Amino acid sequence: MTTYDVIVLGLGGMGSAAAHHLSARGHRVLGLEQFGPAHARGSSHGGSRIIRQSYAEDPAYVPLVTRAYELWDDLEAATGADLLTLTGGLYLGSPDSPTVTGALAAATEHGLPHEYLDADAIRSRFPTLNPGPDTVAVYEDRAGFVRPEAAVAAQLAIAGRLGADLHFEEPALEWSVHAGGVAVTTARGTYAADRLVVAPGAWAPRLTGLPLVVERQVQYWFAPTGGVEPYLDHPVYLWADETGSSIYGFPAIDGPQGGVKIAFFRRGGAGADPDALDREIHPEEVAAMAARAGRDLPTLPGTFLRGAACMYTTTPDENFVIATRDRVTVACGFSGHGFKFVPVVGEILADLAIDGTTRHPIALFDPARFSSVGSPS
């Protein structure tokens, strides 16, 4: 039986990054994935994810996303893949909305270049948008998007090139920890290693015992009235309305035929089953998205092109979980704002798996913050 230094369970965004960084440090790595490479069954698909630095969720994320930018550049250089595109970013809402106040606080605390725009300035500079008179925005140049499928594929390619054994269509049935290491059993056999990294995405609730919620999330693509040209040179955006309902959107990143992507943030409802996710996009969902888009963006919705369902897996406070105990490192609860951190989380997971500690600030992600549970088992 082959013995590895580290086994990585789950080769989506975070797992593929962990396999990449562990292999780059010369460790013997086995990666196990229940689906194929860069698949569309979890939370790392849909063509684009926003990346931004003026971080409304918590200024504590800014040092991590700053490092992530460096590592995205390194990954592009190493693979030649087109992964990160800077477009600028707008964070819109009322002056006292968490989207605006949080982005402004993060930008101010970390000295990030930004602008504060009123409704007239928003309309003047971004005529695709139709803000109400009380809407304001924080704008930053260093925002943009990353391509999730391409990123996962790039990380897997490097890990494989560096000697990692990557097994697809091979779900783990169980794992165990003993004095000398860990063992993972699949239908094909049992594998041994010194350490285990578990990055299970939407399957985390049933594997970790942590208070995680899985939500179905729908992404939509529309062909704007008059064509996509006004959206070719366009910022990404997050927009909270007066009710607290938020949307997010992208430029036309795939040319004239690709349409414009837009979505509600956390509107799908809790309780999704990752093994039986409803992947059909229903007419009433399209109608709700079209109504909101039509209110805020004058040339949308235009014509509905397509939709795609994925999953958000979140903690009660919407912060991540990254922790190590008894040779097992667990990483989960990233959805809604996690993909931009993929390469730095991979670096962190490699640190924790090998050294048991990391230089990165991850105290915010300790699962001990949940009073009903301790560290991951």
pLDDT surpassing 80 at residue 268: no
Supply the pLDDT for residue 363.
95
In a domain? residue 88: yes
Q: How far apart are CA 239 and CA 42, in angstroms?
A: 25
Q: How far apart are CA 53 and CA 64, in angstroms?
A: 9
In a domain? residue 283: yes
CATH number at residue 229: 3.30.9.10
Contacts of 262 (CB under 8 A, 6+ apart): 220, 221, 222, 247, 248, 249, 250, 289, 293, 297, 300
- Regarding whether 221 and 133 lie in a shared domain, the answer is yes
Q: Phi and psi at residue 183, in whole multiples of 5°? A: -135, 140
**How confident is the model over 337-349, as pLDDT tens digits?**
999 999 999 999 9
In the structure, what pLDDT confidence band is assigned to residue 269 with cuts at 50, 70 and 90? confident
Q: How far apart are CA 120 and CA 368, in angstroms?
A: 46
Find the range with the poorest average confidence among 54-63, 258-267, 279-288, 364-373: 364-373
Quickly count: other Cβ atoms within 10 Å of residue 85's Cβ.
15
CATH number at residue 181: 3.50.50.60
Q: What's the mean pLDDT in 350-377? A: 84
- Regarding whether 200 and 264 lie in a shared domain, the answer is no
- Regarding whether 26 and 61 lie in a shared domain, the answer is no
Supply the pLDDT for residue 377.
43
**Domain range holding 119?**
49-146+213-314
**How confident is the model over 210-224, as pLDDT tens digits?**
999 999 999 999 999
In the structure, what pLDDT confidence band is assigned to residue 1 with cuts at 50, 70 and 90? low
Percent of the chain having pLDDT more than 90? 92
Answer with the one of 298, 314, 330 that is the final residue of a domain: 314
Name residue, tokens 């939370």.
43
Q: What's the mean pLDDT in 320-345? A: 96
In a domain? residue 377: no
**How confident is the model over 124-171, as pLDDT tens digits?**
999 999 999 999 999 999 999 999 999 999 999 999 999 999 999 999
Percent of the chain having pLDDT more than 70? 97
Number of domains in the chain: 2
- Regarding whether 328 and 254 lie in a shared domain, the answer is no
In a domain? residue 166: yes
Buried b (16+ CB within 10 A) or exposed e, 30-69: bbbbbbebbbebbbbbbbbbbbbbbbbbebbbbebbebbb
In a domain? residue 376: no
- Regarding whether 310 and 220 lie in a shared domain, the answer is yes
- Between these two residues, 374 and 254, which has the higher pLDDT value? 254
- Regarding whether 129 and 226 lie in a shared domain, the answer is yes
In a domain? residue 247: yes
In a domain? residue 375: no
- Regarding whether 73 and 115 lie in a shared domain, the answer is yes
Q: What's the mean pLDDT in 284-300? A: 96
**How confident is the model over 175-230, as pLDDT tens digits?**
999 989 999 999 999 999 999 999 999 999 988 889 999 999 999 999 999 999 99
Supply the pLDDT for residue 162.
98
- Regarding whether 321 and 202 lie in a shared domain, the answer is yes
- Regarding whether 116 and 57 lie in a shared domain, the answer is yes
- Regarding whether 77 and 20 lie in a shared domain, the answer is no
Answer with the one of 270, 287, 314 that is the final residue of a domain: 314
Supply the pLDDT for residue 376.
47
Mean per-residue pLDDT of the chain? 95
Supply the pLDDT for residue 375.
43
- Regarding whether 356 and 259 lie in a shared domain, the answer is no
**How confident is the model over 78-123, as pLDDT tens digits?**
999 999 999 999 999 999 999 999 999 999 999 999 999 999 999 9
Quickly count: other Cβ atoms within 10 Å of residue 74's Cβ.
11
Supply the pLDDT for residue 374.
42
- Regarding whether 196 and 78 lie in a shared domain, the answer is no
Neighbour order of strands in the sheet with 84-86: 49-51, 144-146, 84-86
